[in-house]
Structure 1
Amino acid sequence: MVKLTGSYEINAPRETVWHTITQPESLQGCIPGCQRLEDVGDGNYEAAISAQFGPVRGSFNAKVSIRDWNPHESYRLVVSANGAPGFVNGEAFITLTEDGGVTTVNVDGDGQAGGLLARVGQRMMENVSRSMMDRFFGCLAESATKG
């Protein structure tokens, strides 16, 4: 099990950040390795992602669900991805708070991997997962501040 938490400050109002992190176009452009993200309705998406976890590289078909919507404040993100290198399942609770036009996005999540990915080792999985999360939120911050 990999535990991931993070806090990201974005120099934009909460409504702008919320709009950015809930738009499929923004998500597809910011998810590292995302080749396709398709809205299949009711807060559910299907994605094709290429990723590398240390020496393990591969393509994954993913199902992404956004649950427990509390507009402009929080939601739960649930991801299940499968591919030749194994599987990744994860869940994160995402909250947004604003102070003086700066929005803080807090992430509290965990995930697990199986197959070859699990044999890479937990330490590497945590480091790579954190790096991917940092890249994702850095990209979203850039998108939100562009307006």
Structure 2
Amino acid sequence: MKQSTVYDCSIIEIDKHHHEKGNLSVLENSKTVPFDVKRTYYLYDVPGGESRGGHAHKELRQLIIAASGSFTVTLDDGKVKRTFLLNRPYQGLLVVPGIWRTLDDFSSGSVCLVLASHCYDVEDYIRDYDDFEKYKK
């Protein structure tokens, strides 16, 4: 998937069920989430001004959700950058392999929920931007 672009990444609407006692959103493998989830993690208590991410994946697909609060995700395919503001818990950003991602501007109390298509594999990460540029060529 070296040839993937930021235009292969998109916002996905997650089912939202409204109730006077609160809202409920449902995520299901291969239905709401366009892959089978093998790993779930979340980022929270990110200090003001800090960035997360700063890497790409060779095979991993992710659905990134602002479960609470807001943050920005900047995607970079080596040629084009796109920035998304995530601030609705019923929307997720689908990130395909071969895209550099950086998360910034975390609001106080924000929670970033990430659903991943693969279990953790250090070999799947590209952590150096120069290596990423070489990978994309």
Asked if TM exceeds 0.5, the reply is no
Which has the larger share of strand?
A: 1
Which has the larger share of helix?
A: 1
Tell me the TM-score normalised to structure 2 length: 0.28
Larger relative contact order, structure 1 or 2 (CA cutoff 8 Å, min sep 6): 2
Tell me the TM-score normalised to structure 1 length: 0.27
